[in-house]
Structure 1
Amino acid sequence: MGAELRDLLDRQIAKLEARIERLIAADEGLAETASILRSVPGIGPIASTMLISEMPELGQITGDHAVALTGLAPIASTRQIASLSPSAQGMTAEQCAESSQ
């Protein structure tokens, strides 16, 4: 890749990142979620933006639910999955709410 193309792409990426930051800052709920996420060591602007865009449930679910939705919950067997709450089985926040009614 040539230096000119790399510079062009770097400038375009910087513009997009700045625009995303402005959009998040303009929305009170998103700004609060971003602030909370960024308070976690290792979570910066890029990771927090990614989490906000990919997991709109954040801020409305528990940490355990978030871990289950991401697939990070350590589950060893199908029997253990059956014993978990619906949210820990990978249900969305809406599905969890429906199943608890």
Structure 2
Amino acid sequence: MFVAMRNMYQNKKKNIAIVLGSIVLFVGALGLVRDQKSTVGDILWMKAMIPHHSIAILTSERADIQDPEVKKLAEDIIKAQEKEIAEMKAMIKRLENNK
């Protein structure tokens, strides 16, 4: 978008600073996402996975599924995700209590 509208922004120094800042921010964020060893531990990982699993449950519940085989798959996904969420919540509680 910035490239398409660059004629609207006449100050070249500011434009260069914006582009370089954006590149640095992007590379930094990409590095953190790719190397989560230093930033994401057991508890944070599980806390991030619970919403991910919840989305799978909502998607499976709200889908207008007609085929019996696909419907069974959705039901199995719901059961599995609910079980895993319960397991993660129990593990989070245990790990937080052991701190």
Q: Fold match, TM over 0.5?
A: no
**Higher relative helix content:** 2
TM-score with structure 2 setting the length:
0.33
Q: Tell me: higher relative CO, structure 1 or 2? Use CA pairs within 8 A at least 6 residues apart.
A: 2
TM-score with structure 1 setting the length:
0.32
